[in-house]
Structure 1
Amino acid sequence: MRTSRDRARRHTRHFLRWARAAAPVHLCADVDMTRVERHRAAARTADGRRFSRVSYLLHAAGRVVAVHPEARALARGGLWPRTVPLPVGGPDGVTAKLALDRTAPGGERVVLTSVLPRMDTATLTEVQTWVDRCRDGDPQSLPGAAAVRLLTRLPPPVGEQAFRLGLRAPAARAQRMGTFAVSSLGHRAVDVFHSYGGTAVTFCAGRTAERAVVRDGRVTAAPVMRLGLTFDHRVLDGAAAADVLDGVVKRLEGWYGDLSGTRGEPRDRAGLRPTGAGDRARGTLG
């Protein structure tokens, strides 16, 4: 007997069947969130603004993915496999698919997704505005909600074909699935998890907790987030994926700038603040 929950999760089942072709591999790194937490506290003190940790991750990942073409590509072909770069120069720039734990109209708890535009150029405030809309707004008004509603109404075989056809063109793939994906379980007692979001790289944020870290040869406590990265091995190799993860870790650990999170940032080619190789955040916010 089919239930309303079965209908509400049809889009998830379509995605899971489509995603079986991927070759996911998982990496993980600890992120010292000291500077991010200080930045969050300063924003609350200055004018009551609340920035979520997911917003910092989206902000950092969007800029790193933008300069790594292999992290914003997709696998195509069967007998003649190839990789195809996703477009970046359009009005939406680098897009991010954000997974959300929401309640469907019938009361069922389901995972919904929304695609956020311009993650390579948006300010932290703009990113947070998108996140707030996705987290607190009407699930029926989320970008892509109309397509999800259509998939839940179609008979499963027809819906699955519609899902696959809707992702064939690279431009449509970036618009509907995102250039990269982000998922978070940081609001629960989850340290590490890995998921595949249908993109070349998917970032998975666990909780931020006080952990022992070594600074200048001394053990101290610091807020640390365990950040997972799932990459599709059909699209990029481990060394390239490690470069992407390392870039995001450095951006988060070296967070700096004013409360917008973007003005006046010095950049090198990778969009990172110029520092010595292997430097980690120390001292107070600059």
Structure 2
Amino acid sequence: MSQPRPAGTERAAGYPIRSERRRLHTLYFLEHAARQRPVHLDTEIDMTRIEAHRAAARAAGRRYSVVAYLLYAAGRVLYRHPGANAALLPGRPFGLRGPRTVRFDRVTAKLALDRTVDGERTVLSALLPGLESAGLDAVQTRIDRYRGPDTGALPEFRGVRLLGRLPAPLGRLAFAAALRNPRRRPAVFGTVSVSSLGHRPVDGFHSSGGTAVTLCAGRVVDRPVVRDGRLAVAPVLRLGLTFDHRIIDGAAAADVLGDLKSTLEGFDDGAEDDGTEPIIRRTGRNLRA
């Protein structure tokens, strides 16, 4: 006896064919990202100070994800490297005026989210603006907003839902139109992309997020390190950086990655700046030791 056919499926040569309407926004994005000229870099981050800060925060009843620290650092680093917080202007890149870029004065991260919408697994992209000055608490609060089961129904993803309902030719045009105006681009696409697969046994990976710089974080795992000529064990994160060679060159991208490494490894929550004690000190542990 044949089984009832699920809604939205067909059969070809005996195999079920499903509509991918909930992934149309991803497919339109991939068409856009295919124009990039990606180059991949990576480094290892000693997460000792960050893991100590996370442990102290948990003891004080607060929780920070590894992604929150990465976003916190990315906002400050991209602000210090405006050439990497940029986009290629649309149009023919080698016309009479030559290729042109626009540099943004604020940092907006496009954070990739693995979510289930209407029973199907899909990728959503959340925008986190103002990262050049956002504190760690503010960053974590924004991340937490997207952790609920009804993430796909949030107003921020209204455009994604619309793209899934439009016929493919109209959806493709709507996606391209949203990126045409460089002034609107940060509010549509962000200025830096961030993705993490650290919740799985993934050490490192690379992807192109459609921005000048894409950051890709794997898991934090104990690894042997050398300190002052002696072997030690430390929590290490492998951080990948993909850059669009049409916008920046390798040396500039290496500077960004080096600055990210220094910022993350030397993390300081800066609480003493407003006259209070850093959370790490309130619990009797000192990051500066």
TM-score range, shorter chain: 0.7 to 0.9
**Would the aligned equivalents of 2:87 and 2:191 in 1 still touch at CA under 8 Å?**
no
Q: Report what 2:182 is aligned to.
A: 170
CA spacing shift, 1:139–1:86, aligned 2, 3 Å: farther
Distance 1:206 1:111 in 2: 17
Q: Report what 1:99 is aligned to.
A: 112
**Would the aligned equivalents of 1:190 and 1:206 in 2 still touch at CA under 8 Å?**
yes
Distance 1:143 1:64 in 2: 29
**Would the aligned equivalents of 1:192 and 1:228 in 2 still touch at CA under 8 Å?**
yes
Q: Report what 1:122 is aligned to.
A: 134
1:123-177 alpha-carbon deviations (Å, 9 max, x no partner): 0000000111112262234463000001000011110111011011112111111
State whether structure 2 residue 81 is matched by structure 1 residue 68: yes
Distance 1:110 1:242 in 2: 32
Residue pairs, 1:145-224, within 5 angstroms: 145-224=157-236
1:284 deviation in Å? 4.8
Q: Report what 2:5 is aligned to.
A: none
Distance 1:95 1:57 in 2: 13
Q: Report what 1:31 is aligned to.
A: 45
State whether structure 2 residue 260 is matched by structure 1 residue 252: no
Distance 1:262 1:166 in 2: 38
**Would the aligned equivalents of 1:123 and 1:262 in 2 still touch at CA under 8 Å?**
no
Q: TM-score if structure 1 supplies the norm length?
A: 0.87
The amino acid of 1:12's aligned partner reads T
Identity of aligned residues (%): 55
CA spacing shift, 1:66–1:143, aligned 2, 3 Å: farther
Runs of 4+ in 1 over 6 A off after TM superposition: none
Distance 1:206 1:135 in 2: 19
Larger Rg: 2
Distance 1:226 1:37 in 2: 15
**Would the aligned equivalents of 2:45 and 2:237 in 1 still touch at CA under 8 Å?**
yes
Distance 1:160 1:141 in 2: 22
1:65-117 alpha-carbon deviations (Å, 9 max, x no partner): 011111111113323342322432xxxx3110000000012x11011101011
Structure 1: which 5+ runs fail to align? 266-282
The amino acid of 2:271's aligned partner reads R
Superposition CA RMSD, Å: 1.7
Corresponding residue to 2:99 among 76, 79, 82 = 82
Structure 2: which 5+ runs fail to align? 1-9, 11-16, 274-284
State whether structure 2 residue 150 is matched by structure 1 residue 138: yes
Aligned pairs, number:
259
Q: TM-score if structure 2 supplies the norm length?
A: 0.86
1:20 deviation in Å? 1.1
Distance 2:233 2:239 in 1: 18
Greater shift in the superposed pair: 164-173 or 79-88: 79-88
State whether structure 2 residue 18 is matched by structure 1 residue 3: yes
Distance 2:103 2:156 in 1: 19
